[in-house]
Amino acid sequence: MYSTLIVDDEDGIKIGLKTIVDWEELGYKIAGTAGNGLEALEMTEVIRPDLIITDILMPKMNGIEFMEALKERGYKGKIVVLSNYGEIDYVKTAMKLGAEDYILKVSYSREEFTELLKKMKPLLGTQTAKTDSIEIKSTEQSADSFYQIFLIVLPCFVKQLQEAEYEKICHKVRVVMGEILGNRSGLSISFIQKNKVAVSFSTGAERLADDTSIPAKIEKTLSLYLMLKSSVIYSLNNRGGENKQAAMDRCFEKSAALFYGTLTLEESRIRLEKISDIFDLITVTNRYRRYVKERMLEKMQDEIQSVVLNFREKMADPYEVKDFIRQIIIAVQLYFDEVYKTEVLKGYRSRVHECEDIAELHDLINSSMDEINARVTELSLQKEDYEVTENIKRYIQKNIDTKLTLNDVAQFAGFNPNYLSTFFKQKTGQTLSYYINDQKMKYAQKLLETGSYKVKEVSERVGYDDAFYFSRCFKKYFGYSPKNISKNGISEIM
């Protein structure tokens, strides 16, 4: 069992997380809960949880401060953060501090949370490999030393490798880095989040010019010798330990740009745009709701794809891009629930979060639009069929006093008689002849119970010329003769 600590200042959230899944069945146990980061820090020292699920905005010590304190104390477990809409910057900071994943408090489901816990299990089981690092620290650095910082991002498939295969990749990457960097002073190589490699070393002013070629060498060597098409985000010529850590943090932040494809670039040259600087989210979301309502789905799909391409060109912040798509999905889901009382795009919100790159998101958008189109078409046909069926029923009620035949109703509906029989049975579960007879008998019963009509008069009012034949049909339907109904409307059946 993996021990878990839940940290949130809202009792409802803590209760909800404790009860939303069967923790033991999934291989976990709740070791404790805390209401803020300070309390959680004290508990962590005692219970040593394998997994911490923490909120971000809390009193006394928030989630970011809590994670920083854990990092200082050498916490080796895994962390998942809870966030609300509008907390993207905090989430990004949490991910840089080592959080494995995040979930939105306002929208997570039992299925989504179950998948998250299942995904965390192998990560908890491979902590050693995942945090594996080597560090060669030199003695005291000279005053004119500079720090060179590199964040290497390996292909996503590396995260899916089994333990033995992953260890082989780690060894090969170390060998490549050793070949390129040799015995650089203070060399540190750390494997983080399984497919990211943080590299740093110090150098003197005399080697600064040569160091500018290192990023391209890393990219080329990994691709040529290990078949690993990787990206390198780097920061050169940083002075002092504080600047070194800040530079590495910036590299991690800017690595989000790899959502749009591989690149090797200095972090200062990467700018991630905010979606709010590109367009108004509320206006766009409302427009897409109107597109669904008016069945302008092709236009909606084209526009979303155009927007996503615009995101790519402007290199919009991927966290915000995913949140934008999720909010569109939520808007569409709310519309379908409100108008059609049905669910669409089940599981798509979590799938958006899992998209590794823009191409995957592009495919997911196409898939979601196909489902929306299919559901709208299906629901529209159901509505049309319902209206046709109700129209037929109204026609029967209006002509209850005539000898209604299949051909009469088919002519009214504009259907072939055989097709009408099949159609009506599929939509109502009754044959047309049964429905006609059912309505005639029930209407006849109401007339008889008034005590104002004789059997012959009632038979004529429901389209029967022969009162004797009507009586037989009535008795077959109700189990008693129409004569057994008294004038005061009470059936006298022995």
Q: Tell me how far apart the terminal alpha carbons of the chain are, to the nearest angstrom.
A: 71
- 258-300 pLDDT per residue, tens: 999 999 999 999 999 888 787 777 788 788 878 877 878 788 8
The CA distance from 467 to 454, in Å, is 10
- 90-103 pLDDT per residue, tens: 788 878 777 888 88
The CA distance from 409 to 418, in Å, is 11
In the chain, CATH 3.30.70.270 sits at 130-268
Q: List strand residue ranges (DSSP E) for 340-462, in order.
A: none
- For the record, the structure tokens of 248 come out as 């590495």
- 365-376 pLDDT per residue, tens: 889 888 888 887
Residues 6+ apart with CB under 8 A from 194: 123, 129, 130, 158, 159, 166
Q: Compute the half-sphere exposure of residue 314: CA atoms within 13 Å on the CB side of its CA.
A: 18
Q: Which letter, b or e, does each residue of 231-256 get, where b requires 16 or more Cβ atoms within 10 Å of its Cβ?
A: bbbbbbebeeeeebeebbbbbbbbbb
3-state DSSP assignment of residue 296? coil
- The pLDDT score that the predictor gives to residue 242 is 62
Q: Which letter, b or e, does each residue of 208-222 get, where b requires 16 or more Cβ atoms within 10 Å of its Cβ?
A: eeebeebbeebbebb
- 32-87 pLDDT per residue, tens: 888 888 898 888 888 888 899 988 888 888 888 888 888 888 888 888 888 876 67
The architecture of the domain spanning 2-125 is 3-Layer(aba) Sandwich (3.40)
For 7, list phi and psi in degrees, rounded to 5: -125, 115
Residue 144 has pLDDT above 70, yes or no: no
- What top-level class would CATH report for the domain 130-268? alpha beta
Residue 9 has pLDDT above 60, yes or no: yes
Q: What is the DSSP letter of 454?
A: -
Residue 350 has pLDDT above 90, yes or no: no
pTM over the 0.85 mark: no
The CA distance from 443 to 254, in Å, is 76
In the chain, CATH 1.10.10.60 sits at 399-484
CA-to-CA dists, residue 38 to 18, 55, 66, 202, angstroms: 21, 13, 7, 36
In the chain, CATH 3.40.50.2300 sits at 2-125
CA-to-CA dists, residue 393 to 155, 413, 424, 435, 444, angstroms: 63, 11, 10, 9, 17
Task: Return the axis-axis angle of helices 358-398 and 318-339, rounded to nearest 10°.
Answer: 10
Is 3.40.50.920 the CATH classification of the domain at 399-484? no
Sign of the Cα torsion 50, 55, 59, 60 reads positive
Residues 6+ apart with CB under 8 A from 160: none
Sign of the Cα torsion 455, 460, 464, 468 reads positive
- The pLDDT score that the predictor gives to residue 460 is 92
